[in-house]
Amino acid sequence: MRCHSTDKGRLLQVALSLLLGFFGLSVSPPAVADETTPLRLCADPDNLPFSSENAATPGFYIELGGEIARALGRPFQPVWVPTYYTKRQIRLKMLAGQCDGFVGVPAEASFMGPRLVFSKPIVHLGYALVAAPTMKVNGIGDLRGRRVAVQFSTPPQDILASDNDVRTVTVLSPEEGMQDLADGKADAAFIWGPSAAWVNHNAMHDAYRVVPVEGDHMQWSAAIAFPRDRTDLRDQVDQAVDRLGDSVNALAVKYGFPTDAPSRGELSPAHPGKGEAQTTGAPPPSPADIQAGRKLFNETCSHCHGPDALQGEQRRNLRLLRQRYGNDMSRMFMTTVTHGRVSKGMPNWSGVLTQDEFSKILAFLTSIQEPGS
C-alpha cells in the first residue's frame, strides 16, 4: 500500500540533515521548546465540527489545541492543511517540520507505521443512523424497505450492499446525505456521525435523530499524532489533556458530537480490513481508491472520454460533472453508468463493472473536477 517515494523522501531528508549537520545546522525541531515557542498543530481549515479557520467557530480540535497550549504555557498556532489526503499531508507537513503535531488522526499504530507516536485518544467518533424522530432506527433491521443514504467507499456502504431489502442512495459526503434526507430523497442516512449531527443542529433545527452505531469499523478514537522523535512533546500533551479533564467533554458537547450510547441493534458487520478510516472528517476515499479508479477509467472509459478524462467535447467532458450536477453528481453518475444512455452512445456498464469499481471511478472523477464558477 505504501509507495516507494516515501522511502526516497526519507532518504532525502536524512541526506539533508547530514548535510546541514555538517554546517552545524539542524533540521529537527528543538527537543525542549521554551515558553515563547508556539505549539503548532496541523488541522483542516474547513472541516466543522472539527476545525475551521473561521475564528467565530474554530471547531473542537482548534479549541482543544488552544486549551492544551495554554496548559503548557505556550501560544497556540494552527497550521492549516486540507485533510483530504491525511497521510500525504502528515508526510509533507508534519514530518517536514511545519507543525509539531497533527490533530484528529486515528489512534491506531497501523495508521502510518512506526513514523508516528500518538497522544491518548482525545475523542471517540463514528458512523451513525440518522432519521426523523418518528422512525425507529436502532439497527440495520429497521432500514429494510427504506431508501438509505450512504457515503461511498465507507463501511456502511459495504454493510448495506449485501442487504437486498435496503435501497442505498450513494452520496459523497455526510452533508450530501443530510440534504437527501431533507429533500425526501432518502428515508434515513447511515453516515459520519459528528458531521451529520453538526449539520442537523446548525442547518436543520435538530429535525433528525442521530444514533451512533456500534460494531467493527464503526467507532474509533482520534488522537494527536507526533513525529516519533517527539515523545517528549507527546507526554506533555497527554498530561495537559488529563489536567483539562471535563472541559474536553464540554467541548465535545459544544460541537454537538453525538452523545447517545452507540446502538447495538443487529449490526455485526464482518468485513475485516475494509474501510479503514482516513481522517476524522467524513472519511474520504483513499488515495489508493482514487488511483485504482483512474486505472479503471483509463482502461474502460478513456477512448470516449479521454485519457484522465481530458478531452475537448463538452458533452462528454467528465471534469464538469460537479459544475453540471452539483450535489447530484454522485447519483447522476451511478444512474448513468448503471443504465447507460445507449441511444446517445454511452454504454450501460452494469454487469460489466462492480459497484466497488464504479465507486472507485467516481472517487477518481471527484478528485479531478473543475472548480465551480
Question: Is residue 300 within the footprint of ligand HEC (CB under 6 A)?
Answer: yes
Cβ closest to ligand HEC, residue 77 vs residue 311: 311
Phi first, then psi, for residue 267 (nearest 5°) are -80, 110
User: What contacts 24+ positions apart, CB below 8 Å, involve 308-316?
Assistant: 308/368, 309/365, 309/368
Kindly state the cell numbers that stand for 346.
Answer: 454511452
Using CB under 6 A as the binding rule, the residues of this chain from 247 to 286 that contact ligand HEC are none
Question: Is residue 345 within the footprint of ligand HEC (CB under 6 A)?
Answer: yes
Residue 84, exposed/middle/buried by CB under 10 A (0-12, 13-18, 19+)? Answer: middle
Which one among 304, 307, 326, 348 touches ligand HEC, defined by CB under 6 A?
Answer: 304
Cβ closest to ligand HEC, residue 161 vs residue 346: 346
Q: How many CA atoms lie within 13 A of 24 on its CB side?
A: 0
Question: Is residue 341 within the footprint of ligand HEC (CB under 6 A)?
Answer: yes
Count CB-CB contacts under 10 A for residue 30.
8
Cβ closest to ligand HEC, residue 57 vs residue 317: 317
Residue 165 identity: D
Which one among 221, 336, 355, 367 touches ligand HEC, defined by CB under 6 A?
Answer: 336
Residue 348 identity: N
Which one among 112, 186, 222, 337 touches ligand HEC, defined by CB under 6 A?
Answer: 337
Which range touches ligand HEC (CB under 6 A), out of 37-45, 191-199, 257-265, 339-347? Answer: 339-347
Residues β-bridged to residue 79? 42
Give the max Cα distance, the chain.
71
Residues contacting residue 4 through CB under 8 Å, at least 6 positions apart: none
Question: Is residue 315 within the footprint of ligand HEC (CB under 6 A)?
Answer: yes
Which range touches ligand HEC (CB under 6 A), out of 68-76, 94-102, 220-228, 330-338? Answer: 330-338
Question: Is residue 329 within the footprint of ligand HEC (CB under 6 A)?
Answer: no
Question: Is residue 344 within the footprint of ligand HEC (CB under 6 A)?
Answer: yes
- What does DSSP say about strands 101-106 and 39-43: parallel, antiparallel, or unpaired? parallel
- For residue 334, the minimal CB distance to ligand HEC (Å) is 9
Cβ closest to ligand HEC, residue 54 vs residue 335: 335
- For residue 203, the minimal CB distance to ligand HEC (Å) is 28
- For residue 305, the minimal CB distance to ligand HEC (Å) is 6
- For residue 155, the minimal CB distance to ligand HEC (Å) is 24
Question: Is residue 347 within the footprint of ligand HEC (CB under 6 A)?
Answer: yes
Distance CA 59, CA 43 (A): 10
Cβ closest to ligand HEC, residue 159 vs residue 361: 361
Q: How many residues bind ligand HEC (CB under 6 A)?
A: 20
3-state SS of 132-162 is CCCCCCCCHHHHCCCEEEEECCCHHHHHHHC
Which one among 305, 322, 331, 360 touches ligand HEC, defined by CB under 6 A?
Answer: 305
Residue ranges in 208-318 assigned as alpha helix (H):
231-244, 246-254, 287-300, 302-305
Question: Is residue 324 within the footprint of ligand HEC (CB under 6 A)?
Answer: yes
Residues β-bridged to residue 203? none
Distance CA 286, CA 268 (A): 24
- DSSP secondary structure of 320-338: GHHHHHGGGHHHHHHHHHH
Cβ closest to ligand HEC, residue 152 vs residue 333: 333
Which range touches ligand HEC (CB under 6 A), out of 78-86, 106-114, 252-260, 343-351? Answer: 343-351
Binding site for ligand HEC (CB under 6 A): 300-301, 303-305, 315-316, 318, 321, 324, 333, 336-337, 341, 344-347, 349, 361
